Amino acid sequence: MATIGDVARTAGVSVSTVSYVLSGKRTISGPTRDRVQRAIADLGYRPHAGARALASSRSNVIALMVPFRPGINVQIIMQFVGGVVTTAREHDHDVLVLTQDDAQGIDRVAASSTADALIVMDIESEDARLPALRALGLPSILIGVPDDTTGLSCVDLDFAGAGRLAVRELAGHGHRRVVLVGASQDRLDHRANYAVRMRQGVLEQAASSGVEADVVPAEPSFSGGAAALDAALDRHPGTTGLVVHNEAALGGLLARAAERGLRVPEDLSVVAVSPAEMAAGLPVPVSLIEVPGERIGRIAVEMVMARLSGEDTAETRLVSPAYSDHGSVAPPAGSPAA
């Protein structure tokens, strides 16, 4: 493996000159810089993380706070993580995964100087970590949008827009009674931002479209989906359309619909808000508003890199929802359009 000394010898310069080319801390003449860069490319030299830190006062590490709490859907979380890690490597940065995702974890990152920036997942609407994030001396990006975004940079799917889009699709097919099968009661009690925004979008669009709507929480499991369907139909007779924002419950919900003799979409229309991979392989193809976890992770890193390059304007980026018709929405049975 090539060393910085090998690069210096090949380029005919001192080790300190190579360090200055890598860090950009001093102006190096064009021909000298070109020789160093050619030597780096020819030798396949990659600076050690510690050496980069010494040369640039940066660690070239992004800390990522990942919520490994009970009930978390690891498969979904890893889509976001994959987007973060892949994009960080494209920018020659490593990712430090932190499982202590409270305010103390944030303070620990700041005190240790192990990371140049922080990406935080699983944001609640009134998140207890926000004061620590605002006081943090490092660029920080939130995957999720709290109620108060003052001084914060955030990125996420526009979940309120996704809820509105789902109801518009159902209402456009003639449905007048819909139910959102959403996040678990625990997530609703903790005001998980995505769950709150989804509910808001569904109820707002239903009101403006003249549609009756309600919300039924679901435990994130096959059995939770079955129980949620029973609750939705038993508590709200006449329901013909469902918006399902609970990936782990989707399979159980569809299975229970079949057990009850309900056909999708002839008897029951379903729109899922989910990563595409989680909706694949179901017994019934489901029309989908995709949660693009990998893309959101990529955007979060691009926002980090912009902050590290000197841009310090707080912003919120919402990814616009898109509807993919896979045939699970149709006019309700007995309606004029059916």
Encode pLDDT of 124-144 as tens digits: 999 988 998 888 878 999 999
Which CATH superfamily is 61-157+293-319 part of? Response regulator (3.40.50.2300)
Q: For tokens 């993919």, what's the residue? A: 324
Short-list 124, 200, 123, 154, CA closest to 296 = 154
User: CATH: 3.40.50.300, 3.40.50.2300, 3.30.9.10, 3.40.50.1000. Which one for 159-290?
Assistant: 3.40.50.2300
**What are the residue ranges of CATH 1.10.260.40 in the chain?**
4-56
Quote the pLDDT of residue 57. 65
Asked if 152 and 307 count as a contact pair (C-beta separation under 8 A), the reply is no
171 — pLDDT class (breaks 50, 70, 90): very high
24 — pLDDT class (breaks 50, 70, 90): low
**Average pLDDT score over the chain:** 89
pLDDT at 267 over 80: yes
Separation between Cα atoms, residue 4 and residue 27, nearest integer Å? 19
Quote the pLDDT of residue 54. 45
25 — pLDDT class (breaks 50, 70, 90): low
**What are the residue ranges of CATH 3.40.50.2300 in the chain?**
61-157+293-319, 159-290
Helix/strand/coil percentages in the chain, nearest 5: 45, 15, 35
Query: Does residue 168 or residue 50 have the better pLDDT?
Result: 168
Looking at CATH, the fold of the domain delimited by 4-56 is given as: 434 Repressor (Amino-terminal Domain) (1.10.260)
